[in-house]
Amino acid sequence: LTALTLININWQLEANASAHHTDKYSSTELIVRRGQAFTVILTFNRALQTGERLTFTAETGPKPSLQAKTQAVFDISSTASNSTWSAVQQSTNSSSVNISISSPANAAIGRYKLSVQPASGGSASRRTLGTFVLLFNPWSSGDDVFMPDSTERMEYVLEEFGIVFVGNVYRISKMGWNYGQFQGDILNICLSILDRSLSYRKDPATDVSRRNDPKYVGRVLSAMVNSNDDNGVLLGNWSGNYSGGTNPGSWNGSVEILRKWKDAGFKPVKYGQCWVFASVLTTVLRCLGIPTRTISNFNSAHDADRNLSVDVYYDESGNPLNMGGDSIWNFHVWNESWFTRSDLGPSYNGWQILDATPQERSAGIFQCGPASLVAIKEGDVDLDYDSPFIFAEVNADRITWTYDIRTREAKPISSETKSVGQFTSTKAVGRYDRVDVTNNYKYTEGSQKEREVYEKARTKLGRVHGFSATSEKRPEIDQKPEISGKFKVDGSLEIGKDVSLILVLRNLTSDAKTVKANMTAWTIVYTGKPIHEVWKDSFSSTLASEEEKQFPIKITYAEYQQNLTRDNMIRVTALCQIESGIDVVVERNITLDNPDLVMQVLSDAKVNEPVNVEVIFTNPLDQEVKDCVLQAEGSDLLKGKLTIEMPSLQPRQSSKVPFEIVPIKSGTKQLLVNFSCDKFPDVKAFETINVAN
């Protein structure tokens, strides 16, 4: 008998990709999910004899070893195993053999090398068959990331487009995002992110062996998506000045960010903010097979000192002060990933919070999570990882102070328990709508249970962080306010128009006092960081018993135009001093709307057939706008980016821009357009297009 020699391997790419839900990846390499069998056909120089052994080796990482479970050696057996690697011969046909290879549901994910060694007939050299990529398997009940609902799997693993909710509690808007986890070389970039982590660089063998655990992979990635500590993917910048990089608000998707990172030789991409970090993390996790979604939280607290209370300071003129590490962001975005918590117990399985935005160090580096969503809701802030920080984001109490710059004296003005953590939102499964998940994070504000959980969390934190909930006195705010105030919006809030507000003050007492108010307006970025004062005023007035008075305010376009950041946000504050009474701070955040960009898809979309699209922009200003450019992009709809230069627009003039796209793949796709000119840097619109075959 001649020695058995391998002539060819057929990876059965199509059949395996379809069975493993990996057919969307653009790759010529086999991509399969763990805990599920895949088929290969081996062709030899002659037929395989009964009893002739074939020994397979599958190995991953630079130092594969049996002990670390990064190497598996297995012979052909008669039945498949679900706890170890195995190979079962399905059929044979003269010289070719159909073999079904299974991996265990807890195998490390990553790129594997597969080799085979015929163990008879003389020459017994091991022959490398090639490589394949093994991913997490949300379809397999034995996998930590198993997600039973098929429509949820479609959304959280396979959906390439999404929306992220941004804005403020008064106005939540949505932004289209191209996750693009299946595009071109994204899978390879995601794998190289793992190989550039601090833990891999320190000890590659151990790091690779731990890639069987979604908790570990999620935590490593939450550190790698930000560039702090480890030259990760994105550099954060909240300064309002983004020169030398891309404005975080200009990104449309993760693909261009990940490619930029790779093309620059793995140098951090400038710049990211929370929704960019979150969305890139979602891409990477979905790409590796961990079900993931992005969560937006409004009035999100950043509690640097971890005592579940956030302090906000104003000077006596009503200017917001950057003091202490605490802040409340207009919104914050993080991720939830779906997996089990073998470390905490089954009641903490399910959604786990991962936050890639560099805010605070955890175990010395900027990473956050995974924290169990159940643990956050129940106040179990002593459980791994970073639960106190995330608990505070949705639940902290808020204390407002005035600060006298000369005497350096801080005075508590008011304390309130409900405003932090509102409208916690994510995209609906299968629809472009907002779903409110606030109740997943906390019991209803104002309920007794919510306060009980808050107190439980403070007590547990006292044990962990060494302060006692009873001895650390919360500031006493002894007096009741004598007036109430609020800002009402009068008219529309659009860039280019004056901002009209009404300060409404109401006298709650029957005592004789007058009120003096210092008012300011500052442009801010979404984290609440003040950028520039654009307006101020003060007045003094007397209100009769129970009287309500209205004070109209106008901030003109000329006043705010120069200093508005791309977040389009202004914070208006009135510091009201009541003669020998307690001060009252009234504040309001406003977000100005960009002018409308209207996009219409004028015909049905079919693969390889032109589709007509029309975009209309109207100049809302009383002045000409120049340097107008319209750009369009969309995976599988357009090759690269389409750029159309437009003539200047006269005051109030509309312009209609027609163009054509030719889809190259069927399915649900997203078309993004972006209009920019000298006065409006980034006006965006998106449209979902169903492309038929």
Ligand X SMILES: *[C@@H]1O[C@H](CO)[C@@H](O)[C@H](O)[C@H]1NC(C)=O
Residue 518 in marked binding region: no
Minimum CB distance to ligand X, residue 62 (Å): 27
Nearer to ligand X, 63 or 536 (CB): 536
CA–CA gap between residue 207 and residue 64 (Å, rounded): 11
Our answer to whether residue 302 is catalytic in this structure is no
Q: What are phi and psi of 257, to 5 degrees?
A: -70, -50
Minimum CB distance to ligand X, residue 63 (Å): 27
Contact 13, 132 (CB under 8 A): no
Minimum CB distance to ligand X, residue 307 (Å): 4
Tokens at residue 621, please?
């200003």
Minimum CB distance to ligand X, residue 642 (Å): 7
Nearer to ligand X, 199 or 292 (CB): 292
Q: What is the DSSP letter of 248?
A: G
Please work out, in degrees rounded to the nearest 5, the angle formed at the alpha carbon of residue 281 by the alpha carbons of 665 and 253: 45
Minimum CB distance to ligand X, residue 259 (Å): 11
CA–CA gap between residue 59 and residue 496 (Å, rounded): 61
Residue 622 in marked binding region: no
Nearer to ligand X, 123 or 600 (CB): 600
Nearer to ligand X, 158 or 205 (CB): 158
Nearer to ligand X, 61 or 671 (CB): 671
Q: What are phi and psi of 440, to 5 degrees?
A: -75, -25
Nearer to ligand X, 207 or 587 (CB): 587
Give kind and range of the element (H or E) at residue 259.
Answer: helix 254-263
Contact 311, 474 (CB under 8 A): no
Residue 335 in marked binding region: no
Our answer to whether residue 143 is catalytic in this structure is no
Tokens at residue 380, please?
């179990």
Single out the catalytic residue among 207, 326, 355, 567.
Answer: 355
Single out the catalytic residue among 20, 144, 274, 287.
Answer: 274
Minimum CB distance to ligand X, residue 423 (Å): 11
CA–CA gap between residue 622 and residue 558 (Å, rounded): 12
Q: What is the DSSP letter of 563?
A: G
| 232: Cβ contacts below 8 Å, ≥ 6 apart | 193, 196, 223, 224, 225, 226, 268
DSSP string, 624-638: -B-SEEEEEE-TTTS
Tokens at residue 521, please?
């307006």
Contact 251, 276 (CB under 8 A): yes
Residues paired with residue 572 on neighbouring β-strands, in sequence order:
521, 588
Minimum CB distance to ligand X, residue 269 (Å): 10
Single out the catalytic residue among 332, 368, 576, 583.
Answer: 332
CA–CA gap between residue 540 and residue 520 (Å, rounded): 15
Residues found in the chain: 693
Q: Helix, strand or coil for residue 434? A: strand
Q: Helix, strand or coil for residue 304? A: coil
CA–CA gap between residue 445 and residue 455 (Å, rounded): 14
User: Residue for token digits 């969390």?
Assistant: 457
Contact 36, 139 (CB under 8 A): yes
Our answer to whether residue 332 is catalytic in this structure is yes
Nearer to ligand X, 65 or 556 (CB): 556
CA–CA gap between residue 325 and residue 378 (Å, rounded): 26
Q: At what angle do helices 254-263 and 186-194 cross, to 10 degrees?
A: 60
Give kind and range of the element (H or E) at residue 540.
Answer: strand 530-541
Q: By C-alpha distance, which of 356, 329, 368, 107 is closest to 226?
A: 356
Nearer to ligand X, 517 or 605 (CB): 517
Minimum CB distance to ligand X, residue 544 (Å): 4
CA–CA gap between residue 469 and residue 467 (Å, rounded): 6
CA–CA gap between residue 162 and residue 430 (Å, rounded): 10
Minimum CB distance to ligand X, residue 614 (Å): 16
Nearer to ligand X, 200 or 277 (CB): 277
Q: Helix, strand or coil for residue 3? A: coil
| Alpha helices, DSSP H, located in 195-248 | 198-202, 204-209, 214-224
User: Residue for token digits 């003669």?
Assistant: 579
CA–CA gap between residue 162 and residue 176 (Å, rounded): 6
Nearer to ligand X, 160 or 355 (CB): 355
* 3-state DSSP helix/strand/coil % of the chain, to nearest 5: 20, 40, 40
Minimum CB distance to ligand X, residue 589 (Å): 4
Residue 395 in marked binding region: yes
CA–CA gap between residue 684 and residue 671 (Å, rounded): 11
The residues assigned a catalytic role are: 274, 332, 355
- Residue list for the binding site for Ca(2+): 395, 397, 445, 450
- Residue list for the binding site: 395, 397, 445, 450
